[in-house]
Chain A
Amino acid sequence: MTKGTDRAETRKRLFWRLHHWVGLYTGILIGVLSITGAVAVFIPEIDALIQKHHYSAVSTDPSTRVPQFGESIDSLVNRFPDYRSMAITLPHKQGHVVQVDLITPVGNTNVRYDFFVDGGTDRVLGQRNHQNSLANYLRQMHVRLYEGYWGRQLVGIGGIALAFVAITGLVIYGNFMKRQVWPAIRNRTNIRIVMADWHKLLGISALAFNLVIALTGAWLGLQPWLMKWLDIKTPNSYAATMVMEPAADRAQAIDWPALLDAAKKEFPDLQPRRIVPSTNGSGTVTIQGNIHGTVYERGINFVVLSKTDLSPMFKYDVRQQPLGHKFYFIQEALHFGDFGGLWLKALYALLGLTSGFLSISGFVIYLYRRKKKNPNKSDALKISFVYSMAALLFLVVIALISLFAGYTQASFVAGIIINLLLVTLLGYAFVRYLLRIYRRKKDVVTP
């Protein structure tokens, strides 16, 4: 063998080892994120069904072209005069309600409520605690594993790991396929070979998708740290000057249909989705929305109007911004696939589940290889089943605690479980590493 071939073989072996160990140690995280992500893409649709069937919150058709909610807002402001912030989400489908997110102090803490308003009759139909809702559970579980301290960063690290195994997988793909052809599956009686073939087949077939999900997920997860370290500011931030007392700002009446008309006049391409009146004394209203056909984070375009005379104060149109802004705001849309309707979400969910399958099949292959070396080891399929069930049990238990006891309690339990697992995993890896060094030294001393 020539020197060049030797070097190429060593490099491929190194990539294989990296693929193997990174996949093994982060597989369970990737698997959980794959399942939660496949569900998370449907959060708006799931939440709409819950609002309709659980809260009987269905909107009648408004007599005017815009939904009516002014009287409901006035009643909520009278009921919660000390509210901290308010956001009104406009319906985008017939029958959907106007949703009012209100954060208000209750005792020593702030509580976030969702109120459902019939856009036809302008009547409050129901309410819920936002933090304990299923929609919030689905989002928080995928975004931060329900762990409040570094859960989001752990998810970001999961994204880096997925990108790493995807790239190393591509590098070693040819070496592992050898004379095999895509998409053939070999000997159907040997589970290890079948799993290995499916692992290669699905891994290469969904590689581009998984790479995009991994890189955008890594950015979104590590965003708070990266923005701090690299001194990156949120591109569309706008700070208005204070012109009145916060209490007067909160109490100021707004002509909502006139406000929407003024927003339309100022920013014709904006499809308004959320209205956020100021509460800090700036006397403004922000109308956030989307521009049809663009692949950017939802609701990042906005126009700020004065509460007093509805005059425009600031406008943010992502199409007119530099490349850096566009790059910043494309990440979430590419990650969640919410820019192309329900069919695109279905494709995202399907392709997103491949990374979950890859983590399970990778683990099964590892266990079979281990059993081949040491036949006394337990059955690979049984172990994989137990691990998968344990991960599912974690998701279900946290969901039940969150829905029936509360977000804080669920977050506390999830924090204990995740940090305990993390310490155990790191401890295990460290002990294995020390044992390996010890054995190597022992082999050198006693050849």
Chain B
Amino acid sequence: MNKGTTTIHDKITEHYLVPAALFALNIGLVHVIYAYATHTWDNYWHLTALTSAPVTLGIALLLKKRGFLFFTTIGYLALLLCWP
């Protein structure tokens, strides 16, 4: 196994992607509770997207796959900015 590649992979995941996903998860949890409490979703697609965002972020944090963490974090931030 290429030791150097493994170290870089771990470092990017543990030092950057995990904190970024946790950052998004903090916002996502507040966002989804707010949406359910105030019924402020546009339609059921919006509600599904809002609900699945913290769930997928949580799964991504458990699995810790680099691409999964990256895309779920970016995906949620896009949802937050484009379809709040």
Contact = CB atoms under 8 A, between A and B. Distances in A.
Given A339-B34, A343-B37, A208 B14 contact: no
In the A-B complex, the 7 residue pairs with the closest CB atoms: A341-B37, A174-B15, A208-B26, A340-B34, A293-B40, A340-B37, A208-B23
A344 B26 contact: no
Contact of B30 (A177, A205, A293, A337): A337
A156 to B, nearest CB: 23
B22 A344 contact: no
Interface stretch (A68-76, A143-151, A178-186): A178-186
Given A205-B22, A208-B22, A292-B38, 12 more contacts: A174-B16, A177-B15, A179-B7, A182-B14, A206-B26, A208-B24, A293-B40, A337-B30, A339-B34, A340-B38, A347-B29, A347-B30
Contacts of B64: 181
A428 B12 CA distance: 41
Interface string B42-64: 00000000000000000001001
A351 B26 contact: yes
Q: Which interface class (under 10, 10 to 19, 20 to 34, 35 or more) fits B? A: 20 to 34
B14 A181 contact: yes
A173 interface: yes
Interface in A70-129: none
Interface in A188-235: 204-209
Q: Mostly helix, strand, loop or mixed at chain B's interface?
A: helix
Contacts of B11: 174
Interface of A: 170, 173-174, 177, 179-182, 204-209, 292-293, 295, 337, 339-341, 343-344, 347, 351
B14 A209 contact: no
A177 B7 CA distance: 13
A344 B15 contact: no
A340 B33 contact: yes
Contacts of A181: 10, 14, 64
Contacts of A170: 19
B14 A344 contact: no
Contacts of B16: 174
A206 B29 CA distance: 11
B27 interface: yes
B23 A207 contact: yes
B33 A344 contact: yes
Contacts of B24: 208
Which of A180, A208, A209, A343 has the largest number of chain B CB atoms within 10 A? A208
